[in-house]
Chains A and B, each alone.
Chain A
Amino acid sequence: MSSTVAYALACVLVPFGWGVLMFRAFDWWQARLRRRASQAVPPPIDYSI
């Protein structure tokens, strides 16, 4: 295994980037679920007739 400065920095930055990506992906997934839930709601009843 390498022990250069570049490799050591990569060992920190690659999992950090993965963490940010996972956070964004989970956010996107939750927003999608919320959007789907709001679309699944039936339209309000029109009492005017």
Chain B
Amino acid sequence: MDVDGHMVSLLALALFGVGVGFVAGLFGVGGGFLLTPLLTVVLGFPLPVAIGCGLCQMVGTATVSLLRHRRLKQGELRFDLLMLVPSALGAVAGARTVQVLALHGDVELLGRRLPLVVVVLYTAYIVFLVGSALGLGKRAKDGVEVLGYVRRGPLARVRLPPYVDLPAVPLSRVSAPVVAYVGLGLGYLSGLLGVGGGVALMPALLYGFGFPIRQAAGTGLLVLLVTSATATYAHARQGHVHLGAAMVLAIGASVSAQLGALATARLPARWLRSGLFLLIAVTVLAILYDLLRQFG
């Protein structure tokens, strides 16, 4: 398959989709934070195209997750609705940033010329992945995932009117602008890095606002769908989405994600958390290796 002038094996792409889908199902994450950098490092996709394809296949996975959680009546829809417009704006801004970086060309770094888009986005990935690992580590240390009650977090205590009540959580008098800014940041991350932002949103909901784990898991999925759809559209308009490649990934991932989710029940939580840390570490090392290779 020809992806932006780069020949990619269809079988390798399908296997990649199956692998990432299984990992996503196993660890209960979207997988975007692994898929996009690894598409570039392992399969050699140009970075903007990897972001576009990652976002495009995410529209499918976000649709399934949203429909499933809506059926289970999990999540606070008001929170999603408050974040909706700012996150879509953030997604478009993120996609624009990628375009500007890609158009900027090369930059000289330590005597070598490297594409600016690679330097900035690889750095952002490493910061994002390390930050996510620290967030997950905090969750592991505090054992917050077993919390079934609401403990008002620092973001829920901000006094910035107008306020909104979130009866499904339940939380009252939460600042609507704070929720909107969280959505804006999430959308920007999604458009910039091609990630769903679930790994960033979960700590924000659990520790920032104090959501119980069940409500946190179901919240943000409507935003994820709208953000990934908006960012996909914006990237596709810039010629960064290869629909065929994205669908091969989506088909492989959608089947194996179910198997990964089934495997989760058979493995101890400690193994799962260690596995996720290991995966994040391998991704960071792969990015660093690719960066060093381009230096060499």
Contacts and interface: CB of A to CB of B under 8 A. Distances in A.
Contacts of A20: 63, 67
A20 B239 CA distance: 26
B32 to A, nearest CB: 13
B237 A10 contact: no
Interface string A6-20: 011111101110111
Contacts of B68: 23
Per DSSP, are chain B's interface residues mostly helix, strand or loop, or mixed? helix
A22 interface: yes
Nearest to A8: B236
Q: Which of A7, A9, A22 has the most CB of B within 10 A?
A: A22
Contacts of B251: 18
Contacts of B61: 19
Contacts of B241: 1, 8, 11
Contact of A16 (B4, B229, B246): B229
A19 B236 contact: no
A38 interface: no
A16 B226 CA distance: 11
B165 to A, nearest CB: 30
Given A18-B251, A19-B59, A26-B258, A12 B239 contact: no
Q: Place the interface of chain A in its size category.
A: 10 to 19
Interface in A4-49: 5, 7-12, 14-16, 18-20, 22-23, 26
Contact of B63 (A3, A5, A19): A19
B233 A12 contact: yes
Contact of A7 (B63, B243, B254): B243
A5 B237 contact: yes
Contacts of B247: 14-15, 18
B60 interface: yes
Contacts of B240: 1
Contact of A22 (B52, B237, B243, B254): B254
Interface of B: 4, 49, 52, 56-64, 67-68, 229, 232-233, 236-243, 246-247, 250-251, 254, 258
5 contacts: A1-B241, A3-B237, A11-B233, A18-B254, A19-B62
Interface of A: 1-3, 5, 7-12, 14-16, 18-20, 22-23, 26
